[in-house]
Chain A
Amino acid sequence: MAQSKPAYKVADIKLADFGRKEIILAENEMPGLMAMRSKYGPSQPLKGARIAGCLHMTIQTAVLIETLTALGAEVQWSSCNIFSTQDHAAAAIAQTGVPVYAWKGETDEEYEWCIEQTIVFKDGQPLNMILDDGGDLTNLVHAKYPQYLAGIRGLSEETTTGVHNLAKMLAKGDLKVPAINVNDSVTKSKFDNLYGIRESLPDGIKRATDVMLAGKVAVVAGYGDVGKGSAASLKAFGSRVIVTEIDPINALQAAMEGYEVTTLEEAAPKANIIVTTTGCKDIVTGKHFELLPNDAIVCNVGHFDCEIDVKWLNTNATKKDTIKPQVDRYTLKNGRHVILLAEGRLVNLGCATGHPSFVMSNSFTNQVLAQVELWTKFGTPQEYKLGLYVLPKTLDEEVAYLHLAQLGVKLTKLSDEQASYLGVPVAGPYKPDHYRY
């Protein structure tokens, strides 16, 4: 470890004022986290917790960090992606005295350095909780600081990728810390993926191209949660949406929602816009590009950038014009043009600013509850033993409940008779664990 560890490392501490203003705006849009503060703030359930966090250092994450500290935790933070830090958010957090090590545009070495700085707290005390997104912090502690594992009460993981990693570690017997999978809370994946993309996809397309969506033929490849959100938002703008699917259940869902469902080969000749959401690879390839009408817009919102064959465009196009960063107009041999957004990477992050605060409040309230669960249950009969868990449904329901008041939602109360008729408790949980929502 560095003996001269700095108190924080951010791009520019002078951005703190700007960051603070945006944090105040975001707080209004993150009622779940603010409710956690007013509910748990007085009892300080996280007192004594030293949480090392590794998650995109954005404005929304700043509200999460300040919620954790409001609940009594000591927190040190790094970002889980070398480019995802919002420097003003990091500066605002650093100014409150929370050690944060994150800036936009780290090198891979700096990235590791940043994560390492969050492991030992002041006075040489090591971390005793992990909050992770993607598994890098978890892996680093397991590989390089195994001496601290025994003192760690638990970890919570934000994403699919990280959860896969944890499942693999658990199967091999490598996982040494009880873990909660936040990703598979209903209020995370069913909201983030669906409602998040429903707003950030058209935001990305419009910021990049200013195209009129109404009347255009838009093809959405894949009808999972992200595909459903994408199709819904394009339809709401007045686009004529066509869906492609490989799974008969999802294909039928799309058809029943009133979308035309066909193959990309058939849809391509009239597709003004193509959005890939599949999570699979090789969705839009050379033969599709050649069929597209002039100036068709092609973009991706699936996690990885292998859905669109960008390599084919780069080798086969006669010309590539970069209109502005993340917006490239290719001229094909047939004389027509293709507009590619964000180089085939996530268009809602590349051309817009990702998910709005409100939907992130759902995800992050799950994170706070997971941390409180792991920390407070430790040493009690309900203690989480080594394993991979999802939050109990009561907590999932609580997360949703906390977001209702902000929207003016009035919830109907179940009477005792109704409750016994349904066979569920009056206060929930209302659904069995296998319920799909």
Chain B
Amino acid sequence: MASDMPLVQLPQRGERINVPLVQSRSEDQRLVTSARQTDKIDADDLVALANQLNSARQLVKGRACDRLKQIADQMEQLHMAARAVLEDAQRDEHLHNVPCNMEKQPGRIYHLYQKQGSMNKYFSMLAPNEWGYQEKKEEYLGSYRLEYDRSWTPVGEMDRKDEEVARLQQLLQREGPVALRGNPNF
């Protein structure tokens, strides 16, 4: 039951608005009784209150929606980032499983091929133009650099990745001395 209930209930469009008022004291408790009934609610007053209440509710609703939207956007972004991470991991895993006779060393570029007429992929030290055989250009699938964290970077994304690393290193160098000022306190 409870799980069907919405967590937060927001006013629906066209809903009849009940203006909740402060309860008056009973007649015998009052000291002043206005002849012109100035302490009684007038219909006009009620409309004004209702309007105010209504617009307040709209604003609350709008504001909540805005804030929720931000979270939703972030969730969407996180979801996409998570997906990219998983896809990268899958690709890295796949590339690590490709048959290769060499001991792969980080920092080096390896070239991926697929034997013609078969599903067998393999890594080579040789780029397609180095082989000198036409069939190697047809078998060529792409080139990847093995990173020090054992991930793979496609050659096309290498420049971007290097810039990113260089920027981070600059940042570290700038922040470094500040962070290291004074000896650590053990």
Binding site for B on A (CB under 8 A): 1-6, 9, 11-12, 82-83, 103-107, 109-110, 113
The answer to whether B108 has its CB under 8 Å from any CB of chain A is: yes
The answer to whether B80 has its CB under 8 Å from any CB of chain A is: no
Among the listed stretches B51-59, B123-131, B162-170, which one makes contact with chain A, having 4 or more residues with CB under 8 Å of it? B123-131
CB pair A107–B129 under 8 Å, yes or no, is no
Among the listed stretches B13-21, B95-103, B173-181, which one makes contact with chain A, having 4 or more residues with CB under 8 Å of it? B95-103
Given contacts A11-B102, A103-B102, A105-B100, contact A2 B132 (CB under 8 A): yes
Task: Output the least CB separation between B116 and chain A (Å).
Answer: 12
In the complex, what residues of B have CB within 8 A of residue A113's CB? 126, 131-132
The interface residues of chain B, by DSSP majority, are classed as loop
The answer to whether B105 has its CB under 8 Å from any CB of chain A is: yes
The answer to whether B122 has its CB under 8 Å from any CB of chain A is: yes
Complex CA gap A6/B131 in Å reads: 10
Contact of A3 among B103, B126, B132 (CB under 8 A): B132
CB pair B108–A107 under 8 Å, yes or no, is no
Interchain residue pairs with CB less than 8 A apart (21): A2-B130, A2-B132, A3-B132, A4-B130, A6-B130, A9-B125, A9-B130, A11-B102, A11-B105, A11-B125, A12-B105, A12-B108, A83-B101, A103-B125, A104-B103, A106-B102, A107-B101, A109-B124, A113-B126, A113-B131, A113-B132
Q: How large is the interface on B (under 10, 10 to 19, 20 to 34, 35 or more residues)?
A: 10 to 19
In the complex, what residues of B have CB within 8 A of residue A106's CB? 101-102, 125
Contact of A4 among B101, B122, B125, B129 (CB under 8 A): B129
Given contacts A11-B102, A103-B102, A104-B102, contact A110 B132 (CB under 8 A): no
In the complex, what residues of B have CB within 8 A of residue A82's CB? 101
Complex CA gap A82/B124 in Å reads: 13
In the complex, what residues of A have CB within 8 A of residue B122's CB? 107
Complex CA gap A109/B124 in Å reads: 10
In the complex, what residues of B have CB within 8 A of residue A6's CB? 130
In the complex, what residues of A have CB within 8 A of residue B126's CB? 9, 110, 113
Residue of B nearest to A4 (CB): B129
The interface residues of chain A, by DSSP majority, are classed as loop
Residue from the set B108, B124, B131, B132 with the largest chain A CB neighbour count within 10 Å: B132
In the complex, what residues of B have CB within 8 A of residue A104's CB? 102-103
Task: Output the least CB separation between A341 and chain B (Å).
Answer: 21
In the complex, what residues of B have CB within 8 A of residue A110's CB? 124-126
Residue from the set B102, B105, B130 with the largest chain A CB neighbour count within 10 Å: B102
Which residues, 86 to 143 on B, are CB-close (under 8 Å) to A? Answer: 100-103, 105, 108, 122, 124-126, 129-132
Residue of B nearest to A14 (CB): B107
Which residues, 148 to 173 on B, are CB-close (under 8 Å) to A? Answer: none
Task: Output the least CB separation between B141 and chain A (Å).
Answer: 15
Residue of B nearest to A106 (CB): B101
Complex CA gap A37/B73 in Å reads: 74
In the complex, what residues of B have CB within 8 A of residue A105's CB? 100-103
In the complex, what residues of A have CB within 8 A of residue B130's CB? 2, 4-6, 9
Task: Output the least CB separation between A79 and chain B (Å).
Answer: 13
In the complex, what residues of B have CB within 8 A of residue A5's CB? 130, 132
Residue from the set B100, B101, B108 with the largest chain A CB neighbour count within 10 Å: B101
Complex CA gap A12/B105 in Å reads: 9
Task: Output the least CB separation between A19 and chain B (Å).
Answer: 15
In the complex, what residues of A have CB within 8 A of residue B129's CB? 4
In the complex, what residues of A have CB within 8 A of residue B105's CB? 11-12
Complex CA gap A96/B131 in Å reads: 23
> What are the 5 closest A-B residue pairs judged by CB atoms, nearest first?
A2-B132, A105-B102, A105-B101, A4-B129, A107-B101
Given contacts A12-B108, A103-B102, A105-B100, contact A4 B132 (CB under 8 A): yes
In the complex, what residues of B have CB within 8 A of residue A109's CB? 124
Residue from the set B122, B124, B125, B129 with the largest chain A CB neighbour count within 10 Å: B125
